[in-house]
């Protein structure tokens, strides 16, 4: 089966109209996530539902503009289970009606998990924009969803690396070996830090202390004793 960049799903309005939903284009995702971020200030389920309905309205600007003018149009055409599906596909927000937590509590948990504000979107878009496909950044954000942006970015970086590797090989340099060597040096450095300077490299048992030991589930200070003869 061919690889998918993202999944889609069909939903139905009360009148039977079928609509395909998918991750929002960045232009609408910005509005969607900015609205959803207001959830942290709500005090009850009614306020939470109002925000979720507004998020669904924003999503409809892409999916079905005909009912995207007001929250009333959303409520007249879509039930809450369908709104929850829209939230998940549009922005990765999961609301479970059968969960013990209230809608407000679940929404706040989703808000804390979604790191939209931590993404350096300008940097990612600038890197992709150099491909010269879009007229401006608004055009780019109107054309791409986040999964599409990340897929293009991954492909671009891979091609850039292959090009660098080709020109390096002409000069007798193996970038893959250099990358492996750099990773080994990083692991050795961490081993010396975790062992207080006692470990020679990442293969030394003295590196299995503290957080490093905990990561592997064993080590010095976690049931493995040793005698320091230095």
Rounded Cα–Cα distance for residues 140 and 31 (Å): 16
pLDDT at residue 185, as a whole number: 59
pLDDT at residue 203, as a whole number: 58
- The yes-or-no verdict on residue 173 having pLDDT over 70 is no
Instruction: Please give the average per-residue pLDDT across 1-24, as a whole number.
Output: 90
pLDDT tens, residue by residue, 89-147: 998 888 877 777 777 777 767 665 555 677 888 999 999 999 999 999 999 999 999 99
pLDDT at residue 222, as a whole number: 41
Instruction: Please give the average per-residue pLDDT across 193-198, as a whole number.
Output: 51
Angle between helices 26-36 and 80-91 (to 10 degrees): 120
In the chain, domain spans = 9-116, 121-170, 175-216
Alpha-helix runs per DSSP H in the chain: 26-36, 45-63, 71-77, 80-91, 103-113, 121-129, 137-143, 146-170, 175-194, 210-216
Contact of 149 with 128, CB cutoff 8 Å:
yes
């Amino acid at each position: 089966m061919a690889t998918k960049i993202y999944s889609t799903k069909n939903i139905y309005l009360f009148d039977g109209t079928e609509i395909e939903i998918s991750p929002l284009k960045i232009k609408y995702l910005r509005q969607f996530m900015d609205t959803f971020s207001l959830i942290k200030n709500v005090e009850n389920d009614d306020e939470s539902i109002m925000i979720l309905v507004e998020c669904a309205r924003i999503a409809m600007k892409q999916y079905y503009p005909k009912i995207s003018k007001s929250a009333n149009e959303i409520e007249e055409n879509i039930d809450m289970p369908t709104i929850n599906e829209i939230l998940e596909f549009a922005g990765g927000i999961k609301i479970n009606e059968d969960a013990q937590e209230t809608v407000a509590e679940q929404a706040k948990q989703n808000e804390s998990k979604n790191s939209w504000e931590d993404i350096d979107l300008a940097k990612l878009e600038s890197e992709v924009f150099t491909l010269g496909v879009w007229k401006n950044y608004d055009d780019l954000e109107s054309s791409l969803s986040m999964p599409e942006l990340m897929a293009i970015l991954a492909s671009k970086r891979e091609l850039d690396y292959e090009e660098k590797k080709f020109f390096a090989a002409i000069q007798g340099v193996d970038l893959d070996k250099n990358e492996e060597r750099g990773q080994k040096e990083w692991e050795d450095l961490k081993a010396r830090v975790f062992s207080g300077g006692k470990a020679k490299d990442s293969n030394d048992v003295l590196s299995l202390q503290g957080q490093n030991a905990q990561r592997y589930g064993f080590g010095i200070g976690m049931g493995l004793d040793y005698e320091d003869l230095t």
